[in-house]
Structure 1
């Protein structure tokens, strides 16, 4: 039996909710059905780092949130300035139900990966589960949250700021990379090299800027944002004039070092031209406009300020 305790109350599949039905609420449809959520929640818990970032963009301060990866307890560096007072709930696949119950939230927002514990979360507080199809659904995810929380004005202003930054970046680039191809890759523990395509979060930002990706990445996948298992023999598929490598752990750096010793790696244009850049994977896959800001900063750093 999965359970959590709050003020001595046991939460399990046979008990009733700890919260009373709301009189003044907004009925929304989501992945798990319908939920009437408070119109002005002030104790929001997020069980998805993507949701956490998007709430911060909308000007809301969650009281707690789950981290992105199973082996990381904290939040990504790009979110650190905004999350000093946000309690940590463990990883976003298996959040601590006990911690959530003790916090007594008035709203829980999560993603599809927590379907199994939704019945338990919904006993603690009104809970909505947001669609997530990978980073390709980041704009849809943001729009859902804005509409559900009645933050359409903040939503519109956030996009206006984003496109203003895109416009300024285009001016700074001044067509220098008009005919160049920008490749985005990362490493998987059992997937080999991962190729991030146009429908991914970083791919969509590059597209908004007007930067092109190699032919194999210049695609919109129907339900996805990446191509797994690019072998060393297929490196030409991710060949570009510039390569951004998304890294996080020490093992990523080791894989890159191993790759750099391969003859095929040395034949890539970006390698020969000295335009291979490592960037933070949690930022480049952050899937919210705070992360997009940080990605734009990286592009300024490496494509505008680099001779």
Structure 2
């Protein structure tokens, strides 16, 4: 009888040990699953933006920047976008002042014609767009990847020439680099202060900013655009006699002499602008301008684009100071 019980006890003990081992293994698996769940939850975060809230990955490797100023912001944060929009002004390529930092970056059409098929093929982690583009393709982009919309619906804020800083700080939040962004803004502010001090020492500091287009000569206003505010308000140039406080306006060649200013900075658009500029330079009205006669006319490299970001604005200040030396 005793001999028969012993094998039975041994068998029962073996079963109990096996069940205990299974239970331990299941608990380990459950704990691992729970741990992984916590990790996965920590790998995502919520970003508030113009179109609501969007969950984005903690680690960002493939960020698409679909506006030049956003590309400036990303590069200023010492990151690199995975893809950007090209610029029609430059044959569909990179915006020139950032081109050396964008080598190897994919181009996904331009703001007037986004290449959705190309974007889909890139499997992005995140897409950053402005409110104008969002009104056209947000739903399509949001189906491809998390899409953040920057900008504002507040008319007063949208007209604030310093609103670019809000976009910069939002992108810094996305990358977890808010302190770096604030540092970059402070450094730029100090550069502008130093530049203004140098410009204040000029005996004559009247300025007109012209844009030469295929069939137009445009005189930029004193405010209403980040470039205008940088030149006149922040750096302290004085607007020309024809410069409007608020509105950009078209000029005829006949009224050019009324500009009456010490410096002329200008942008020549790539399409048709050079031919128009050639005609303007041949005019005696142009040649009679004090700024022309004194050699104070400088063609800029598209400050209108540069003025929306830290990198571009820094370059503008450096270029301005080189012009007045």
**What's the TM-score, normalizing by structure 1?**
0.79
Q: Deviations over 1:242-292 (max 9, x none)?
A: 0001124263222112112334323433123221111112x4422111111
What SS does the corresponding residue of 2:74 show, helix, strand or coil?
helix
Q: 2:103 aligns to what?
A: 84
Q: Cα gap change, 1:70/1:249 in structure 2, threshold over 3 Å: closer, same or farther?
A: closer
Of the two structures, which has the highest relative contact order with CA contacts closer than 8 Å and spacing of 6 or more?
1
Q: Write the distance in 1 (CA, Å) between the matches of 2:58 and 2:260.
A: 49
Q: Does the 8 Å contact 1:22/1:36 carry over to 2?
A: no
1:239 to partner: Cα distance = 3.9
What SS does the corresponding residue of 1:280 show, helix, strand or coil?
coil
Q: Does the 8 Å contact 2:220/2:228 carry over to 1?
A: no
Q: Cα gap change, 1:262/1:178 in structure 2, threshold over 3 Å: closer, same or farther?
A: same
Q: 2:146 aligns to what?
A: 126
Q: Write the distance in 2 (CA, Å) between the matches of 1:38 and 1:143.
A: 18
Q: Cα gap change, 1:119/1:51 in structure 2, threshold over 3 Å: closer, same or farther?
A: same
Higher mean C-alpha deviation, range 47-56 or range 157-166: 157-166
Q: 2:300 aligns to what?
A: 279
Q: 1:104 aligns to what?
A: 123
Which of 70, 74, 98 aligns to 1:51? It is 70
Matched, 1:187 2:212: yes
Q: 2:227 aligns to what?
A: 202
Q: 1:62 aligns to what?
A: 81
1:229 to partner: Cα distance = 2.2
Q: Deviations over 1:149-169 (max 9, x none)?
A: 443211111112212322443
Q: Does the 8 Å contact 1:182/1:244 carry over to 2?
A: yes
1:233 to partner: Cα distance = 3.4
Higher mean C-alpha deviation, range 266-275 or range 48-57: 266-275
Matched, 1:159 2:185: yes
Q: Write the distance in 2 (CA, Å) between the matches of 1:60 and 1:104.
A: 18
Higher mean C-alpha deviation, range 231-240 or range 270-279: 231-240
**What's the TM-score, normalizing by structure 2?**
0.75
Q: 2:25 aligns to what?
A: none
Where structure 2 has 5 or more consecutive residues not aligned to the other structure, the ranges are: 1-40, 153-157
Q: 2:3 aligns to what?
A: none
Q: Write the distance in 2 (CA, Å) between the matches of 1:256 and 1:183.
A: 16
Q: Deviations over 1:183-234 (max 9, x none)?
A: 1111234554242433323222223222222255362x4xxxx514222234
The structure with the largest helix share of the pair is 2
Where structure 1 has 5 or more consecutive residues not aligned to the other structure, the ranges are: 1-20
Q: 2:45 aligns to what?
A: 25
Q: Deviations over 1:283-302 (max 9, x none)?
A: 44221111112212211221
1:180 to partner: Cα distance = 1.7
Rg larger for: 2
Q: Write the distance in 2 (CA, Å) between the matches of 1:167 and 1:186.
A: 26
1:139 to partner: Cα distance = 3.3
- In the alignment of these two chains, the number of paired residues is 277
Q: Write the distance in 2 (CA, Å) between the matches of 1:234 and 1:134.
A: 29
